[in-house]
Structure 1
Amino acid sequence: MAIVTSCASTHPTTRTATTSFGKLRFIGEQIIPHNMPFMGAVTGGLSGIDYDASRQQYYLICDDRSELAPARFYTAKLYFSGQSFDSVRFTGMTTLLRQNGNPYPGAKVNPALTPDPEALRYNAKKNCLVWSSEGERIVNTKDTILTNPGVYEISLDGHYRDSFALPSQFRMQATDNGPRRNGAFEGLGFTPDYRYTFVSLEEPRYEDGPRADVGDTTALTRVIKYDNRNLQPIAQYAYRLEPVAFPPKPANAFKVNGISDILVLSDHQLLAIERSFSTGVKDCTIKVFLVDLHHATDISGVNSLKTATGIKTVTKSLLFDFASLGKYIDNIEGVTFGPVLPNGHQSLVFVADNNFSAAEESQFFVFELIP
């Protein structure tokens, strides 16, 4: 369990576009106690992580939809070396604020204004944070609630500063068009020079085809590229998802595979986490891919990938399969570079969202990146 502090010989790093990926070496894991109390709330739902080298601290967004406490993010310290991962210490909690300066309401108060926080990054050039919400899509005989996904720029104290322009393809609709519920803006990241932001869609839009399935390699989702000078989209790319890893039990139960986060390496290279879950299978299947956009088609003007021809998807290669650790792996939804290790190699930190469930775990994993 991870609540005590300890010193470690790591030091801050600045990002470069030349990080080379050979393999990952596992250093250690820490688990936060279920519903650990902190500053009047509970910890959990850790859906995104980023490292601030200047302050030597991590930002962690929580996907609590203002139900247990107002929508928020945490700050934390992680203590590890090249040989061991000693502990995690939460240091602060900040409420996400709407444009009017008020906290976001929960679904029982106003479901149309309730966010679904999923990703968070620190922009060192602007000294601000950027976070994403998946929005909401509830369409049934009782009600229709449509809240668009979004990407927002905020100050370090949680105040709204600006929002990224939303392409029309990603607006929520009551018909089978646009993003699926809980399948929208799950990951984001900046290029090392902070010129561009990439935002990943977790699952295919309705027009782009069916969701991932067992033994099916046809599911296509999207990655959006933004210009940070004006927060306008400038390109989109098609990303082919892996099949769902295991059949659910029973066969008609819930299953999913999608992009749970991205880490941007350069103007055309990403690290992508694919997270597969099937009902009746305790572990999640987590695979990390190196992704290259260099020869991919800009599909900004393509409304349906089902019917489009001549589209070149991004290319990807498997970097790491968490199953190789031989231990229980939960719902990993966040990744960041940490500090440089004493041997000069880069560290890589992953975090898992426990969905505030006692049956799941808020896990932190630390790796050494060996060129």
Structure 2
Amino acid sequence: MKNFCLCVLAIVLASSCRTTRLQTNNNESIGSLKLIGQYNVPYNLSFDNTTVGGLSGIDYDPQTQNYYLICDDRSAINPARFYTARLYFTDKSFDSVAFTKVTYLLNPQGQTYPDSKTAPSLAPDPEAMRFNPKKNCLVWSSEGERIVTDKDTILNNPAVYEISLTGKYLDSFALPSQFVMKATENGPRRNGVFEGIGFSDNFKHMFVSLEEPRYEDGPRSDVTDGPAYTRIIKYNVDTRQPIAQYAYKLEPIAYKAIPEDAFKVNGISDILALSDTRILTIERSFSTGIRDCTIKLFITDLKGATDIKNINSLKQTPGFKPASKKLLFNFASLNRYIDNIEGVTFGPILPNGHQSLIFVADNNFSDKEESQFFLFEVVPSKQ
């Protein structure tokens, strides 16, 4: 019996090591993506006395097979929260998404966050979430708030928080001075701040991406090539201190708005680290009057890029080298309606031995939009 148990343990350990090795190799050698399937969450799905929607970030824990999904509800519908879910699929089909738990985000005082109408300077704007198995905790980002009008000024700094799996506040990452909200046209723009998070280097480092350029760094994306530069911050996870920043050049906005002076945007909606220098970046372009979002996935390389942490204004500092990037996948090639994709994670290894990659779209709690999940197979590049 003892020898049998030791044999089973050896098989389990070998299988576990094989899974980890496959994930690492596939992450480093992405050749192309192959769509397996799509699943849409029903509009206004009710779960545990909350409304499911606004899914803006996703991450996967291979040990528990749980997916963590942050919701960008600013405590307006229900208190700020994240969901735990199970996704059921094979390498041939995407069957379903089952929500299993809702957890409320707690502030440093141990309370749920107030809504944006009651306390706009204290309400969060949740956007990204990652699981850290080394600390058995979660990290999530808030875009904060910047409202400057003749009647009122509301400033709430963006932030990155470390929390327990029960939502309890543990700590926060240091905020570089360039990202403090200001009433003048300096620092971050409203709704253009911390949209993406990615762990790298065995969870020693963490990248945080800004959706859009800071005022000092130049104009926002437009239908013509500005150019528009946003930033990616690199943190030491143990000290929670920023150690570097890199410039990232955004694509032009895909379509003119209708009418032309209506809202339009392009920015980084999420990132996913492949190594300590390579990351996947999602660029999401939207124009009023165009139903679809234009979603492009790039492999971005920070190697050789200028560390711009001590450069306050990119538009006044010529000669810096931005990160290089290469288009990996354009969702337009799927020839179907694509909504507001804001989250991405690697999932489990598929039965055929390839890595899975999952995207989630934020429906903004609108009946005209969709909470979409897309499942892909990662086809490794030929070595």
Pair 1:53-2:62 in alignment: yes
What SS does the aligned partner of 2:28 have?
A: coil
Q: Report the CA distance between 1:206 and its aligned residue.
A: 0.3
Of 114, 133, 140, the residue aligned with 2:142 is 133
Residue of structure 1 in register with 2:185 after alignment: 176
Contact 1:239 1:313 in 2 (8 A): yes
Q: Any idea what the Cα deviations from partners look like across 1:265-316, whole Å, max 9, x if unmatched?
A: 1110000000000000000000000000001000000000001121000000
Residue of structure 1 in register with 2:204 after alignment: 195
Residue of structure 1 in register with 2:276 after alignment: 267
Query: How far, CA to CA, are the matches of 1:117 and 1:316 in structure 2?
Result: 27
- Aligned positions of 1:203-218 closer than 5 A: 203-218=212-227
What SS does the aligned partner of 1:16 have?
A: helix
Query: How far, CA to CA, are the matches of 1:233 and 1:65 in structure 2?
Result: 26
Residue of structure 1 in register with 2:120 after alignment: 111
Query: How far, CA to CA, are the matches of 2:59 and 2:53 in structure 1?
Result: 16
Residue of structure 2 in register with 1:16 after alignment: 24
Q: Report the CA distance between 1:192 and its aligned residue.
A: 4.4
Larger radius of gyration: 2
Q: Any idea what the Cα deviations from partners look like across 1:328-364, whole Å, max 9, x if unmatched?
A: 0000000000000011100000000000000000000
Residue of structure 2 in register with 1:356 after alignment: 365
Residue type of the alignment partner of 1:29: Q
Of 332, 335, 338, the residue aligned with 1:326 is 335
Name stretches of at least 5 consecutive residues in structure 1 with no aligned partner.
Answer: 1-10
Q: How many residues were matched structurally? A: 361
Contact 1:217 1:241 in 2 (8 A): no
Residue of structure 2 in register with 1:241 after alignment: 250
Q: Any idea what the Cα deviations from partners look like across 1:128-171, whole Å, max 9, x if unmatched?
A: 00000000000001110000000000000000001000000000
- Aligned positions of 1:136-175 closer than 5 A: 136-175=145-184
RMSD (CA atoms)? 1.1
Residue of structure 2 in register with 1:76 after alignment: 85
Query: How far, CA to CA, are the matches of 1:141 and 1:46 in structure 2?
Result: 33
What SS does the aligned partner of 1:182 have?
A: coil
Residue type of the alignment partner of 1:75: T
Q: How high is the sequence identity, in percent, across the aligned residues?
A: 66
Contact 1:130 1:151 in 2 (8 A): yes
Query: How far, CA to CA, are the matches of 1:109 and 1:39 in structure 2?
Result: 24
Q: Any idea what the Cα deviations from partners look like across 1:52-93, whole Å, max 9, x if unmatched?
A: 111101000000000000000000000010000001100000
Query: How far, CA to CA, are the matches of 1:65 and 1:125 in structure 2?
Result: 29
What SS does the aligned partner of 1:111 have?
A: coil
Residue of structure 2 in register with 1:340 after alignment: 349
Q: Report the CA distance between 1:19 and its aligned residue.
A: 2.8
What SS does the aligned partner of 1:324 have?
A: helix
Contact 1:217 1:240 in 2 (8 A): no
Query: How far, CA to CA, are the matches of 1:192 and 1:29 in structure 2?
Result: 31
Query: How far, CA to CA, are the matches of 1:271 and 1:217 in structure 2?
Result: 23
What SS does the aligned partner of 2:216 have?
A: helix
Of 284, 288, 302, the residue aligned with 1:293 is 302
> TM-score by structure 2 length?
0.93
**Deviant stretches of 4+, over 3 Å:** 11-15
Contact 2:219 2:226 in 1 (8 A): no
Query: How far, CA to CA, are the matches of 2:237 and 2:35 in structure 1?
Result: 34
Of 81, 103, 111, the residue aligned with 1:94 is 103
